[in-house]
Structure 1
């Protein structure tokens, strides 16, 4: 049955291949987005922008909260205590 199903599903091979590539790209993007080192670097740049007067205190607080949420998710992912989704 394996050979027959492969032959019958052969026209869908490009779709399956594209799907796999998309999944890999999404996985890598999420890995980078939730990387603790990346988030910490963004927090540092955010603080520099505040000190330089490029953003207001309110903008800083909002962006800092978002970054800290990402860091929390990243730390949960690395310890395996979180499912990696936003709360």
Structure 2
């Protein structure tokens, strides 16, 4: 009986589980030291190339570092 009543909710449960898995993956990537290092290097290269200002560089670095803490 539970299976019959629960069957219509299966797609919703699947979407919820998929969302949870995606959130876990994003959190892992935000905290991965190699990924953080790459993002910081990209910011540094953008500053060296003149694509961003010193203020934008500082703000971007702070965002990356704050992402590691959450």
Q: TM-score, normalised by structure 1?
A: 0.68
TM-superposed CA distance for 1:6, in Å, is 2.4
> Which residue pairs with 1:5 in the alignment?
2
What stretches of structure 1 of length at least 5 have no aligned partner? 74-84
TM-superposed CA distance for 1:55, in Å, is 0.9
TM-superposed CA distance for 1:59, in Å, is 0.6
What value does the CA root-mean-square deviation take over the aligned residues? 1.5
Q: TM-score, normalised by structure 2?
A: 0.81
**Size of the alignment, in residue pairs?**
70
What stretches of structure 2 of length at least 5 have no aligned partner? none
Alpha carbons 1:47, 1:60 under 8 Å: kept:
yes
Determine which structure has the larger helix proportion and give its number: 2
Consecutive aligned runs of 4 or more in structure 1 exceeding 3 Å deviation: none
